[in-house]
Amino acid sequence: MATLTNAMNIGLSGLRANQAGLNVTGHNISNVNTEGYTRQQVKLDAAKPVKLHQGVFGMGVDISSILRYREESIDRQYRTQNQYLGNLNKQAESMDLIEGIINEPSETGLQNAIKNLFNSLQDLATNPESSSVRTTVREQGSALAKMFNQVRNQLVEIRENKNFEILDTVTEINESLDQIGTLNIEIAQTEALGQKANDMRDSRDNLLDKLSSLIDISAVEDPANSTTIVTITGQAFVVVGNVLHLKSESTNEEGREYIKILNPTDNREIEPASGELYGLFEIRDRIIPDLIDQLDELAAAMITEINAVHRQGYGLKGNRDLAPTNLDFFSGTDAQTMRLSYDLVNDSRNIAASSSGAPGDNSNALAMAQLRSAEILNDGTFTFEDFLSGIVSTFGLEALSIKEGLANQQRLVDHLDNYRESLYGVNMDEELVGMIRFQQAFGSCARVISTVNELMGVVTQLGRY
């Protein structure tokens, strides 16, 4: 028959269950501001009843497990979009830096330097024998060359800095892979004993979220051992506690240092499809080289065209009885090597303003000034300034597209994160309601125990008679 001892045990089971509920609720409340924390809940089941001849009697409540609310499909969707966000973040950061270097339109940019040179050549055509005007032409030519040098060198510096960022990102990825491998082992060991490693699972999921912003990954849990298999570009990098590391290798191509990322198993080059690493490669290998190539093309065209005219003219030292000076206005072949020629730096009288050597002849200076409106670049359809404007506008449109894409992607990732938070996160109102419920149930179970204890006392007293 059902005894008072059974009733006492039922009350005790209720105390234990509701105490566990209070512990879990307190744990939830304590972690309300913990990043990546997943709400937990006690799962209670009715204890297995006993069958007696008087009937079937319940035996109280059992603590079945501590549940953790998590949807793998939603996490997978979040991480996929987080990869694109990481890519756009890195590209947008670099675009801001490059915009500051190009600095167009402005009074101190390359466009203005080109305009100033041609304006000074126009002034020289008006006063071909003026020493002050010649000095101005020399200074404007030198300023233009230096501006080309500066812009190109700063772009090269950004490109080279991307190599260091790539190395830092690879280190961060490898560290995350190590931590995931360690957590895999700890989770497997804990859950093999029938326990739920909820907090360790949160830590692992946080690492996977972070890793997804760095490189495109795939993460699948193996139900056989509660571990997560992490793959990158089809290669498994974390299997249980076995971890592979991305390798980095420095190579030199055409005088440029490149950091390549290699698969450790076969040394095959890894080409990320998304994440911050992909964004860094895009800036280093496509966007900046394209800009440098276009700057070099513009500088080379200006060097070639201005020199071709200048070599046919006469400086103040020449005359019609002598051959043209055959001196270059610029030296160099591209934006990096472009300089005002030594002959002009040394003596502004070597600037060939005349086509004949006759006093007052300005025709060669006028021919150089007229190059400003000559359609030379892009198969004879763009002037120098048109070509530079095209570079700036094309880059500006791409920068705008990246920034708008970043804003849209940020909204999408925030939406998914908020949705996850609504499903997994701690709701203080719900937790406080739950706390009151457990508190009242705990008190009621204590009341049951107290009552049973009194009844046991009565029975003990009856035994004395």
The helix (H) or strand (E) run that includes residue 44 is strand 40-46
3 state SS of 196: coil
Q: What DSSP character marks residue 2?
A: -
Q: What pLDDT, on a 0 to 100 scale, did the predictor assign at position 321?
A: 45
Q: Which residues lie closer than 8 Å to 190 by C-beta, 6 or more apart?
A: 196, 197, 200
**N-terminal to C-terminal alpha carbon distance within the chain:** 23
Buried (b) or exposed (e) across 335-370, using 16+ Cβ within 10 A?
Answer: bebbbbbebbeeebbbbbbbbebeeebbbbbbbbbe
Q: At what angle do helices 288-310 and 72-102 cross, to 10 degrees?
A: 20
Residues 93-108, mean pLDDT to the nearest whole number: 90
Residues 357/319, Cβ–Cβ less than 8 Å: yes
Lowest mean pLDDT among 66-80, 124-138, 234-248, 318-332: 318-332
Q: What pLDDT is attached to residue 3? A: 76
Output the average pLDDT for the chain: 91
Distance of CA 148 to the CA centre of its chain: 30
Q: What is the pLDDT of residues 18-31, one digit of tens each?
A: 999 999 999 999 99
CA pair distance 320, 19, nearest whole angstrom: 109
User: In a 3-state reduction of DSSP, which class is residue 40?
Assistant: strand
Query: Could you give the CA distance from residue 250 to residue 257 in angstroms, rounded to a whole number?
Result: 7
Examine the pLDDT at 289 and tell me if it is beyond 60: yes
> Is residue 34 within 8 Å of residue 421, measured between CB atoms?
no
Using the predicted structure, report yes or no on whether residue 421 has a pLDDT greater than 60. yes
Residues 429 and 29: their CA atoms lie apart, in Å, by 10
What 8-state DSSP symbol labels residue 36?
T
Give pLDDT tens digits for 210-267: 999 999 999 999 988 889 999 998 899 999 889 999 999 988 877 778 899 999 998 9
Of 99, 92, 84, 82, the C-alpha closest to 283 is 92
Report the share of the chain in percent with pLDDT over 90: 73
CA–CA distance, 34 with 37 (Å, rounded to integer) = 6
Q: What is the rounded average pLDDT of the residues 438-458?
A: 86
- Return the pLDDT at 407: 97
Q: What is the dihedral of CA 294, 295, 300, 302, to 10 degrees?
A: 110
| Phi, psi torsion values for 245, nearest 5 degrees | -115, 140
Sign of the C-alpha dihedral, residues 198, 200, 204, 206? positive
- Phi, psi of 136, deg, nearest 5: -65, -45
Residue that wins the pLDDT comparison between 459 and 350: 350
* Contacts (Cβ under 8 Å, ≥6 apart) of 419: 74
Cβ of 378: how many Cβ atoms within 10 Å?
A: 13
Residue 350 tokens read as 């070597």
Q: What is the pLDDT of residue 203?
A: 95
Which pLDDT value is given to residue 318? Answer: 55
| CA pair distance 34, 90, nearest whole angstrom | 26
Q: What is the pLDDT of residue 324?
A: 67
pLDDT mean over 447-462: 79
Looking at residue 330, what DSSP letter applies? Answer: E
- DSSP letters, 244-255, are ---EEEEEEETT
Q: Could you read off the pLDDT of 144-192 as tens digits, one per residue?
A: 999 999 999 999 999 999 999 999 999 999 999 999 999 999 999 999 8
Residue 380 has pLDDT above 70, yes or no: yes
